Amino acid sequence: MSEKVMDKHGLKNEITDGIIWKQLLMFFFPIVVGTLFQQLYNTVDAVIVGRFVGKAALASVGGSAAVLTYQVVMFFTSLSNGAAVIISQFYGAKNTQKLHTALHTAAAFSIIASILITAAGCLATPALLSVMKTPEDIMADSVGYLRIYFLGITATLIYNMGSGIMRAVGDSKRPLYYLIVCCVLNIILDVVLVVYFNMGIKGAALATIISQAASALLVIRALMTSYDMLRLIPRDIRIDLPLLLAELRIGLPGGIQSSMYGLTNIIIQTSINQFGTDTAAAWAAYGKVDLIFWAVSGAFGISITTFAGQNYGAGKLDRVYKSVRVCLFMSLTLCGSILIGLLALARPLLSLFTSDSTVIGLGVYMMFNIVPSYAIFIFVEIFTGALRGIGDVMIPTLITLGGVCLVRLPWILFVTPIRRELFTILVSYPIAWAATALLLIPYYFYRKRKLNRRWKKNAA
């Protein structure tokens, strides 16, 4: 939880009053470690099934199935970001009544959404995997893994919503502690179910959902007992339509954005699958190796959203802008170092997942052709997060969708069939990111100038 000290008015919120770089780091580290542990759920599954079951099982867990589960979770997480932003603004403004209503509306929405997603996921799994041209030798295992995962997805969605709300009020430590405990549980269950009970990837799926259920229960308990201004009361869980619409107004554009990213990833996974099981396994391993970058970059994005939201709610624009500058510098420094490390250690990192030399060679090729361009995405993450924190989501979403719909999708749909090479698929990522950044960065500074003029006019 963010450090708080007493002043003559009571509790002092260090996010709106403390030293920015220090508070950003204190807020960032629990998030990034927590994100890494959350990613470890699927990564441990991939390592264990890849080593103890085989490369076909690795392709099942980390290929089409991973793309679909990631898409569902990211869509819901983007929706829940709307609740987190609204809650962070009410918290910064110390509006206890609105804070209470927003929390219980978010909880009700999580329950309803999880029921719908579970039903749709279980029914649609075979058709989705077929459309993605999943190789026949991994189809049965992929269907089994996905159906078990969807049956337990309620816990995942509740954890993501709850932990997002906890971070929105400045508590980034508790979600981390819960994830550490549950990740250890996941590793133990993976070894027991996959290695000793020989349950294959179904055992890996069971280990994941049991562990995530434990983390969800811990988050619910914390929301019910650990905060003064924010307390979950089960009997008060209901939808407040105006607040739900406000949360969706902020969260839905991000959900659409993640859906478009997901659609392109599904199309890309479909193209990858057509190169065979070796390429699908290499893509699955590569998708786990780079998780440290996405964890760090995403943690900076969450941090700046919370800092921008609370300072905007408190009426402190200067701190919003300074937070963006400090966060961008930190992200460029740390993420840039990670990218260098990924390239230097590409082969040994991939060897954690498989001993197959062909799969490792393909994975190294993928990394060297995509990883350097991740530097572009750092700017997209920070500026999008800052704009989301002040409630500006529509234009950034349209810009991002432009990079996806007008650049990446046409490239995959029209250029890839003409030049059917792996490199043609890989280069679609940096091209789309560059197009997005070229539009998003100028928009941020335009929005900043416009906001300054409005606040100066109101002050006068």
Q: Where are the domains of the chain?
A: 4-459
Q: Are 46 and 62 in contact (CB under 8 A)?
A: yes
Long-range contacts for 343-350 (Cβ within 8 Å, ≥24 apart)?
343/367, 343/368, 343/371, 343/372, 346/289, 349/289, 350/282, 350/285, 350/286, 350/289
How far from 208 is each of 124, 213, 223, CA to CA, in Å? Answer: 21, 9, 23
Torsion over CA: 131, 132, 135, 141 (sign): negative
Residues 6+ apart with CB under 8 A from 424: 415, 416
Residue 194 exposure: Cα atoms within 13 Å on the Cβ side = 30
Q: The pTM is what?
A: 0.67
Q: What is the pLDDT of residue 430?
A: 92
Q: What whole-number distance in Å separates Cα of residue 53 and Cα of residue 141?
A: 11
pLDDT in tens, the chain (460 residues): 333 433 334 456 677 777 888 888 887 887 787 777 766 666 776 777 777 777 666 666 666 677 777 778 778 877 787 888 888 888 877 888 888 898 999 999 888 888 998 898 888 888 888 877 777 777 887 888 888 888 888 888 888 888 888 888 878 788 878 888 888 898 899 889 888 888 877 888 888 889 889 989 999 999 998 877 888 998 999 998 988 888 888 888 777 777 777 777 778 888 888 888 888 889 888 888 888 898 899 889 988 988 888 888 777 888 889 999 999 999 999 999 999 999 999 999 999 888 888 999 999 999 999 999 999 999 999 999 999 888 887 888 889 888 877 888 889 888 988 888 889 999 998 999 999 999 999 999 999 888 888 777 766 5
Q: What is the pLDDT of residue 367?
A: 94
Residues 6+ apart with CB under 8 A from 14: 2, 3, 4, 5, 23, 26, 170
Q: What whole-number distance in Å separates Cα of residue 264 and Cα of residue 272?
A: 12
Segment 247-279, tens digit of pLDDT: 888 888 777 777 777 777 778 888 888 888 888
Q: Are 310 and 15 in contact (CB under 8 A)?
A: yes
Does residue 170 come out as left (phi exceeding 0), alpha (psi in the -120 to 50 range) or beta? left
Q: What whole-number distance in Å separates Cα of residue 138 and Cα of residue 55?
A: 10
Q: What is the pLDDT of residue 377?
A: 93
Side chain identity at residue 268, one-letter code? I
Strand ranges inside 51-184, DSSP E: none
DSSP 134-154: --HHHHHHHHHHHHHHHHTHH
Segment 310-350, tens digit of pLDDT: 888 777 888 889 999 999 999 999 999 999 999 999 999 99
